Amino acid sequence: MPDAHILGIESSCDETGAAVVRSGQEILSNVVASQIATHQPYGGVVPELASREHLRAMVPVVRQALAEAGQTYRSVDAIAVTQGPGLAGALLVGISFAKALAFALDKPLIAVNHLEGHVHAVLLERRLEENGELHFPVLALVVSGGHTHLYLAQVQENLWTYRNIGHTRDDAAGEAFDKVAKLLGLGYPGGPIIDRLAAHGDPLAVKFQTSQIKHPDRRDRKQGDHEGVAREEDGPRFDFSYSGIKTAVLRYVETEKLKAEIEVRRRALADIDQPKLEDYLRLSDRKTLNLVASFQRSMVSDLVMKTLVAARECEVRTLFVSGGVAANRELRVTFEREAGMQGLPVFFPSRALSTDNAAMIAAAAFPKFLRREFVAMDFSAEAGMSLR
Ligand code: KG4
Ligand code: ZN
């Protein structure tokens, strides 16, 4: 297999990323400029601000990634960039820069689906080699701020193909973490802080209903208008739904009269530059900590249970769990325990590689590089891109 240094560029949401990865596995550099501070006052990502921040960060981030990897613009073998899904304006910043580089340097240009990037993050850092051979079919759960998708993945002669067998009917899991954190005055993004606070509460204190496990959705099949629409022979679909639990948390806040405390916490945290765990703990009473722990337990149980039902029914041999929410500690421990009981090997990216980064984009580009799957200069962003 030929060696290749691929420069990856990622700008689909609120992280500007650039990385150099050797032959799809070895990370030589991975630079991420986070925009969290920019979006924090708004409690979520503001698309116009995201594009502006990408414009500001792109050149220095790419330069730093090359320097840390001991590479130059000329020495890399190809340039890979996220084509979608994501915010159109944000994607265009990365794509325009990647095109300019590829054109000026006369290098091949590779377009990568962000979701495929998350799947390939699992293959980085030689994590699989340490743990033995990879057996297909693989079931990949991509669980992030924008997606909660289940894909059956196969590979043949470096061609990876994916079949979507499940998705969220409403909010993505990461979106539910973010919305619940916002509702409780804990700030943005919600996942990392809920992850840390949950360890300090009782996960069995509040009971939340989880939604239905599995059903073939015939209406989708007739409409045929969105990703992963299954034909009859494609078999069952495994769907998720997380808007209900968010509403249940809101109802709990109202019935338990937590609003005044939430307002105090929101204001106090806004006044602290980079609040620490102790600040959150000081500002949260037992009831709130129990609520946070119970919310996370319900989310984790639902994600793990539904994914393992899908894994059993599809008779997969390996499970991948990736995307921002895959950084969640309780999710990882629970998947390892439950999949272990089924004798199913489960792999995650390292926690740092679970959230958005460009190393995963460069990794996913490597099989395409081997297949010479290059794009022409007229390709563009695809905000609603699906993975196949
Ligand atoms: O993959 P990602 O960085 O961006 C998207 O493609 O969406 O995922 C970001 C999402 C956010 O919703 C964030 O709250 C969530 O991942 N997240 C977490 C954790 N770290 C990030 N959710 C739960 N626990 C975490 N530790
Ligand atoms: Zn992502």
Quick: pLDDT tens for 77-95: 999 999 999 999 999 999 9
Higher pLDDT, 60 or 210: 60
pLDDT digits (tens, 9 = 90+) for 251-281: 999 999 999 999 999 999 999 988 999 999 9
Confidence bin at 333 (pLDDT 50/70/90): very high
Q: Band the pLDDT of 224: cuts 50, 70, 90.
A: very low
323 lines ligand 1 (CB under 6 A): yes
CATH of domain 138-344: 3.30.420.40
Q: Percent of the chain at pLDDT above 90?
A: 85
Which ligand is located closest to the Cα atom of residue 32?
1
- What is the DSSP-derived secondary structure letter of residue 275? -
DSSP 126: G
> Counting atoms of ligand 1 from 1, which one is nearest the CA of 173?
12
> What is the DSSP secondary structure assignment for residue 161, as one 8-state letter?
E
pLDDT at 141 over 80: yes
Nearest Cα residue to atom 16 of ligand 1: 324
Whole-number pLDDT of residue 225: 41
With a 6 Å cutoff on the Cβ, whether 117 touches ligand 1 is no
Confidence check: pLDDT of 235 > 80: no
Contacts of 131 (CB under 8 A, 6+ apart): 345, 347
The CATH fold assigned to 5-127+353-370 is Nucleotidyltransferase; domain 5 (3.30.420)
Q: Are 25 and 126 contacting, i.e. CB atoms less than 8 angstroms apart?
A: yes
Question: Does the beta carbon of 355 sit less than 6 angstroms from any atom of ligand 1?
Answer: yes
Q: Which ligand is nearest to the CA of 198?
A: 1
> CA 278, 279, 284: angle at the middle one, nearest 5?
95
Distance 98 CA to ligand 2 centre (A): 19
CB 238 within 8 A of CB 139: no
Q: What is the bridge-based pairing of β-strands 138-143 and 318-322?
A: parallel
> Is 29:70 a contact under the CB 8 Å cutoff?
no
pLDDT for 133: 74
Q: What is the pTM of this model?
A: 0.92
Strands (E), 23-158: 26-34, 78-84, 109-113, 138-143, 148-156
Residues constituting the chain: 388
The closest-lying atom of ligand 1 relative to the alpha carbon of residue 355 is 3
More confident site: 121 or 229? 121
pLDDT value at position 221? 44
Nearest CA to 387 out of 61, 27, 141 is that of 141
What pLDDT sits at residue 327?
Answer: 97
Dihedral sign computed on CA atoms, order 143, 149, 155, 161: negative
Structure confidence at residue 234 (pLDDT): 58
Angle at 81 between CA 53 and CA 144, to 5 degrees: 70
For residue 78, give every residue at least 6 positions away whose Cβ sits within 8 Å of its Cβ, in sequence order, or none: 4, 6, 7, 107, 108, 109, 110, 365, 369, 374
Residue 227 has pLDDT above 60, yes or no: no
- Our answer on whether the CB atom of 174 is closer than 6 Å to any ligand 1 atom is yes
Residue 171, ligand 1, Cβ within 6 A? no
Do you find a cis peptide bond into 60, omega within 30 degrees of 0? Answer: no
Residue 141 near residue 322, CB atoms below 8 Å: yes
CA 64 from chain center: how many Å?
24
Distances (CA, A) of 329 to 107, 186, 340: 40, 19, 16
- The CA angle 203-329-84, to the nearest 5 degrees, is 120
Q: What is the Å distance from ligand 1's center to 73 Cα?
A: 31
Mean pLDDT of 150-179: 96
The residue whose CA has the least distance to atom 1 of ligand 1 is 324
Please report which confidence band the pLDDT of residue 170 belongs to, taking 50, 70 and 90 as the band edges.
very high
At 130 the pLDDT is 55
Instruction: For residue 100, count other CB atoms closer than 10 A to its CB.
Output: 12
What pLDDT is attached to residue 331?
Answer: 98
How far is it, in rounded angstroms, from Cα 124 to Cα 383? 26
Which ligand 1 atom sits nearest the alpha carbon of residue 146? Answer: 7
pLDDT over 70 (residue 230): no
Helix, strand or coil for residue 55?
A: helix
* Mean pLDDT, residues 189-218: 82
- Does ligand 1 have an atom closer than 6 angstroms to the CB of 324? yes
Q: Is the pLDDT of residue 304 over 80?
A: yes
With 0-12 / 13-18 / 19 or more C-beta atoms within 10 angstroms meaning exposed / middle / buried, residue 244 is: middle
Q: What is the mean pLDDT of residues 119-130?
A: 78
pLDDT tens for 28-83 read: 999 999 998 898 888 888 999 999 999 999 999 999 999 999 999 999 999 999 99
* Percent of the chain's residues with pLDDT above 70: 91
Structural element, H or E, at residue 219: helix 218-223
**pLDDT score of 223:** 42
pLDDT at position 219, please? 42
Residue 5: per-residue pLDDT: 98
Mean predicted lDDT score pLDDT of the chain: 92
Domain boundaries of the chain, sorted by first residue? 5-127+353-370, 138-344
The mean-pLDDT minimum among 27-41, 93-107, 297-311 falls in 27-41
Reported as a pLDDT band with limits 50, 70 and 90, residue 229 is: very low
* Residues near ligand 2 ion, CB 5 Å cutoff: 144, 356
Question: Ligand 1 centroid vs 104 CA: distance in angstroms?
Answer: 35
Neighbouring C-alpha atoms within 13 Å toward the C-beta of 366: 25
The whole-number pLDDT of residue 218 equals: 39
Q: For residue 23, with 0-12 CB atoms within 10 Å meaning exposed, 13-18 middle and 19 or more buried, which class applies? A: middle
